[in-house]
Amino acid sequence: MNHAPLSTIGHLIDGQIVADTERTQPVFNPATGQSHTRVALASPATVQAAIASAEAAFPAWRNTPPLKRARTMGQLKGLLEANADQIAALITAEHGKVLSDAHGELQRGIENVEYASYVPELLKGEHSRNVGPGIDSWSEFQPLGVCAGITPFNFPAMVPLWMWPMAVACGNTFVLKPSERAPSSALFIAQLALEAGLPPGVLNVVQGDKRAVDTLLQDPRVKAVSFVGSTPVAESIYATGCQHGKRVQALGGAKNHAIVMPDADLPNAVRALMGAAYGSCGERCMAIPLVVAVGDAVGDAVVAGLKAEIARLKVGPGTDPRSDMGPLVSRQHFESVKAYVDSGVAEGATLVVDGRTLQVEGHEEGYFLGACLFDHVQPGMKIYQEEIFGPVLGVVRVATLEAAMQLINDHEYGNGTCLFTRDGEAARYFTDHIQVGMVGVNVPLPVPVASHSFGGWKRSLFGDLHAYGPDAVRFYTRRKTITQRWPSAGVREGTVFSFPSSH
């Protein structure tokens, strides 16, 4: 056994790497099951130092012209593109996803940086002249102060880029707590932001666990918190943050259904479902873990098509360009997903493809689970109700589109959904009546582009505003409306006791 000392991933506070190493934990490579580095877990004092740094940087950054803040985002975009290979390698080493998927994640994050560079236009207020005699009124969008982001392991580069670029472009300062399972890419990107011209203290990164999160939620200097993760944690963060007077957006879990209609282009639908279900090993909140086939003939064709495609699926380390799917993120999560498969079998679903026995040669200690496919899944089953977050796809059979939509509308989650059809009338009815926040038609992963906003309905989102896009501008600013009057010189006016109006 190798007892060589492990390097430790630290924090970024006030522009400097801080090695608070009183508590650490190993960071594993999911493809090998081995750890060659550790991550520091911030003490409350370290988190408070990061908040203090952000608070100290806020006055000058708030008064920095929006165009100058935007130019920093433009510089960052170039640096992210120039360092894309290194960032993707960090993502794959700690999450396990294949390199092409890591590059795709980063590109989506870069698009959000680019959108943040439009902030001078996005922050323009409204102005009305002569709303009353000699009275003008206008609105401004002012920054909140210190904001915080708590981000998940499954998109360690993209989700932080949903948050802090727009927050700092709007004039706030920021404390980011990335996932302790995949901490390196967020820290590296923050260092690139310094290189792009972001002043020290405007963006700080604290590695950590629940102690760091609790400190961010309880400190009164933090004015707003953004979170992406599981629904139980999202609900807790929303409640705790609101209790402490913060603005909170907390994005939770999902159980996304894809409906396949009898008129759908089945070969294309099957290929799309393969990527949506098994891409990133199913560790996406927008993954498709359930297919609702309308009619038994459709169900039979979908299952046969998926079974044939799974037979061609290449599972291996993310660094292998031949791999379509990498490992799960951790041993604990591997065991959790396997237990869901066991549960599906025990509850009577038909396990068409069993990935539990997969072995990847040379990576026997890695957290590899092969693609699993269930047929005849029923709504009462655990594998139907709960978010599995792994490469497990279940097929449900119903008789009509209305029955399929009722299943979706009855589910506690409302993150994403899609419909495969050639029928425009059916598509219009579906998009109008489905109770889900992000909807696709022949698009299995309807993730909005950077100029729109991302978020689900029901127990997939706690808070009123979605992530990134226009909603991010509103979340990270507050409106101030100013009404101003300059009476004409020499005009004497009497006292007015009635409520002011324009009459």
Question: Nearest-CA neighbor of 63 among 160, 226, 197, 202?
Answer: 202
Instruction: Tell me what percent of the residues of the chain surpass a pLDDT of 90.
Output: 92
Q: What is the pLDDT of residue 494?
A: 73
Cα distance between residue 76 and residue 79, in whole Å: 5
Long-range residue pairs from 67-72, CB within 8 A, at least 24 positions apart, any chain: 67/120, 69/119, 69/168, 69/169, 69/171, 70/116, 70/117, 70/118, 70/119, 70/120, 70/169, 71/117, 71/197, 72/193, 72/196, 72/197, 72/198
Backbone angles phi, psi at 351, to 5 degrees: -85, 100
Query: pLDDT tens for residues 235-263?
Result: 999 999 999 999 999 999 999 999 999 99
Report which residue type is found at 199.
P
Backbone phi and psi for residue 115, each to the nearest 5 degrees, phi listed first: -65, -40
Q: Coil, strand or helix: which one is 180?
A: coil
Q: What element of type H or E holds 424?
A: helix 424-433
Note the helical H segments in 197-315.
210-218, 231-243, 266-278, 296-311
Give the residue numbers marked as catalytic: 285
On the question of pLDDT at 46 being above 90, the answer is yes
What mean pLDDT comes out for the span 308-330?
A: 97
- Nearest Cα to 257, choosing from 416, 403, 142? 416
- Count the neighbouring beta carbons within 10 Å of the beta carbon of residue 404: 26
Domains of the chain: residue spans and CATH: 7-252+460-481 (3.40.605.10), 257-441 (3.40.309.10)
Has residue 385 got a pLDDT over 70? yes
* Residues 344-382 pLDDT 10s: 999 999 999 999 999 999 999 999 999 999 999 999 999
Separation CA 389–CA 114 (nearest Å): 30
Nearest to 219 by CA among 204, 231, 232, 199: 204
Q: Name the token pair of 482.
A: 């100013």
- Note whether 154 and 284 are within 8 A (CB): yes
Under the banding of pLDDT at 50, 70 and 90, the label for residue 33 is very high
With 0-12 / 13-18 / 19 or more C-beta atoms within 10 angstroms meaning exposed / middle / buried, residue 51 is: buried
Interatomic CA distance for residues 37 and 2, integer angstroms: 12
Return the number of other C-beta atoms located less than 10 Å from residue 82's C-beta: 10
Q: Please name which of 174, 192, 134, 223 lies closest in space to residue 13, comparing C-alpha atoms.
A: 174
